[in-house]
Amino acid sequence: MCQLLGLNANTPTDLVFSFTGFAHRAEEHKDGFGIAFFEGPGARLFVDAQSATQSPVAEMIRHYPIRSRHILAHIRKATQGRVALENTHPFMRELWGRYWVFAHNGNLVDFQPKLHAAFRPVGDTDSERAFCWLMQELAKNHASLPSVEHLTMTLAELVPTVARHGTFNFLLSHGEALWAHCSTHLHYIERSHPFAAAQLQDADMTVDFSAHTTPQDRVALVVTQPLTCNEDWQALRSGELAVFVDGHRAI
């Protein structure tokens, strides 16, 4: 099973601590990794078909504290599509003059939607097909960029069409909000003042967030399985679509 990691915050935040623990899970998920950072309307996307335990790109991420309010990461265990750069998540497309980034965990059986020229997959994964279809249908439903509330309503109508084909855990962001849909396993946590120390599950590493934050900071993390062993992670229910804005769950 692939692993997902998403961050949404009200102030630019680095992901070095969480990514360190997340990357350790690549020992069992060796078919590629990727990470996307939003910077205002722009986005940095780093992907590699190598495992995050071996990739020099992953090594750079662990030591280069890029700060962002919206971050998506993925480590891949291939189910559909060969191990190749074009099949490595996250995937990115443009819609309404905004970059959209998407990462999926699961397996969609016989999902072959009709796609027009504006949104076509480059690779051959079920994940990229699902992303292209979501973008296509959002574009059909809205002439211009709608509010986060209206986008959430439209996604809630669209997602079941895909989810009936199998497991559809995903993260989606356009640099303003983070959407998370759960089929099987997704967990989230919201960190705010007073911040405390956290201990990684997968590495011998602890960080005291109170030393690196202000009382106004808020951060939400969404992951496949909890990253830390001393924090109260919340599990999303099967079929639940959550949205996070400014470091807390909005819906």
Q: Where are the alpha helices (DSSP H) in 31-75?
A: 56-63
Cβ atoms of 212 and 206 within 8 Å: the answer is no
Across the chain, how many H-helices and E-strands are there? 4, 15
Range of the domain at 156: 3-249
Q: State residue 144's pLDDT score.
A: 96
Our count of domains for the chain comes to: 1
Q: State residue 89's pLDDT score.
A: 93
Beta strand 91-95 with 33-39 is: unpaired
Rounded-to-integer distance, Cα 54 and Cα 79, Å = 21
Residues 6+ apart with CB under 8 A from 161: none
What does pLDDT average to in each consecutive run of 10 residues of the chain (251 residues)? Answer: 91 83 62 90 92 80 84 85 88 97 96 93 96 97 96 98 98 98 98 89 79 90 93 97 97 86
Rounded-to-integer distance, Cα 113 and Cα 129, Å = 8
Q: State residue 208's pLDDT score.
A: 83
Going 103 to 238 to 79 to 15, the CA torsion angle's sign is positive
User: What are the residue numbers of the active site?
Assistant: 2
What CATH number has the domain bearing residue 139? 3.60.20.10
Amino acid letter at 39? E
**Distance from CA of residue 220 to its chain's centroid?**
12
Considering the entire predicted model, what is its pTM? 0.93
Other CB atoms within a 10 A radius of the CB of residue 75 amount to: 31
Query: Can you name the residues that pair with 235 across neighbouring β-strands?
Result: 187
